């Protein structure tokens, strides 16, 4: 691990997912997303929604295909970063504020 790179300074282990997700903005708008990875402290999403820095959103992550009967994960999360991936999609780094369900 190269600690000179800030992205490698994560304290929590990230688990790759690739699951469907839904993001709800503070204004109540719903946006489709994909959850790339998940950790105890946060997650990475790809979506067309462009949030403000520090904005708190609600996210619902669907279970992986191998566990279709598992309930979705619902959290409120704070936006820590947003990077343009091109094609109208953005990669969001989110910090979990509260687990709802």
Domain that holds residue 27: 6-99
What are the tens digits of pLDDT across the range 35-61? 999 998 999 999 999 999 899 999 999
Q: Which pLDDT score, from 0 to 100, does residue 3 have?
A: 35
Task: Assess if residue 22 is contained within a domain.
Answer: yes
Average pLDDT across the chain, whole number = 89
Task: Assess if residue 1 is contained within a domain.
Answer: no
Number of structural domains in the chain: 1
pTM higher than the cut 0.75: yes
d(CA 85, CA 82): 9
Confidence grade of residue 11 (pLDDT, cut at 50, 70, 90): low
Res 25 pLDDT > 80: yes
Task: Assess if residue 14 is contained within a domain.
Answer: yes
Taken in order 82, 46, 14, 4, the sign of the CA dihedral is: negative
Q: Which pLDDT score, from 0 to 100, does residue 53 have?
A: 87
Task: Assess if residue 37 is contained within a domain.
Answer: yes
d(CA 59, CA 20): 11
Q: What is the CATH number of the domain that holds 64?
A: 2.40.10.220
């Amino acid at each position: 691990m190269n600690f000179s790179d800030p992205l490698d300074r994560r304290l929590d282990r990230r688990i790759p997912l690739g699951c469907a997700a839904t993001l709800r903005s503070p204004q109540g708008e719903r946006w489709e997303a994909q959850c790339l990875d998940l950790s105890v402290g946060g997650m990475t999403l790809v979506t067309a929604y462009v949030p403000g820095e520090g904005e708190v959103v609600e996210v619902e992550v669907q279970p992986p295909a191998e566990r279709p009967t598992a309930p979705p994960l619902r959290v409120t999360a704070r936006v820590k970063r947003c990077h343009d991936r091109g094609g109208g999609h953005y990669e969001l780094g989110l910090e979990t504020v509260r687990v709802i369900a």
